[in-house]
Amino acid sequence: MHQLVVFASGKGSNVQAILDYFQSPDKVRIALIVCNNPEAGVLDIAKTRQIPVQLIDRNAFRDPGFVEKLRSYSPSLLVLAGFLWKVPDNVVQAFPGRIINIHPALLPKYGGKGMYGQHVHQAVVAAGEKESGITIHYVNEHYDEGGAILQARCTLVAEDTHESLASRIHKLEHYFFPRTIEFLLDNLTE
Ligand code: GAR
């Protein structure tokens, strides 16, 4: 059985997609949701599904005790699903090759600090891009710079707004994120 620790601070539609995909908690389950926003929609999902939540502030995130807390769940993967803070170096180093993030653009384009959620889609539309997409990648010490695991693309049309693009990107995310997680879990090396 694989345990995931999921970091999420938004609406949580990707968390919902992961829960919907992994129906059998005997194979894969979300053991803990880490969140920095007490108002986040993902907390309603956690409540409904009775998933433990750890609310953190920036100090708690850096506290060495936090790594111990994460280790106590023996996570196969740490999954950033709409989490906006940079992961502290001590956490990255404690779980080498085990932390992944989803980003709503084709990195290295439209990545880095401040590039999240609708800010990404607004920038893509404003630049007149003909395509965008998603990047699922390993997390390293640098924001949005870890090795890419999977990219999936979509086309933009002239009428696209950041809302219509966001909705298309979410569909890509909901399809590919759970399947990528499953692929990684099936191919983990000890
Ligand atoms: C997702 O589109 C994800 O790619 C993005 O936040 C959204 C969260 O949506 N992440 C980033 O922008 C990270 N830089 P959700 O809360 O509905 O899953």
pLDDT tens digits along 65-118? 999 999 999 999 999 999 999 999 999 999 999 999 999 999 999 999 889 999
pTM for the complete prediction? 0.96
> Rounded to whole angstroms, how far apart are CA atoms 121 and 104?
8
SS3 51: coil
Beta bridge partners of 62: none
Q: Can you list the domains of the chain with their CATH numbers?
A: 2-102+136-148+173-186 (3.40.50.170)
pLDDT 10s digits, 137-173:
999 999 899 999 999 999 999 999 999 999 999 999 9
- For ligand 1, atom 12: residue with the closest CA: 116
How distant, in Å, are the alpha carbons of 26, 78, 100, 167, 188 from that of 92?
A: 27, 10, 10, 30, 17
Q: In this model, does residue 190 exceed pLDDT 70?
A: no
pLDDT 10s digits, 107-136:
999 999 889 999 999 999 999 999 999 999
Residues lining ligand 1, Cβ inside 6 A: 8, 10-14, 81-82, 84, 102-104, 116-117, 120, 173
88 cis-preceded (ω within 30 degrees of 0): no
Rounded to the nearest whole angstrom, what is the distance from the C-alpha of residue 184 to the centroid of ligand 1?
20
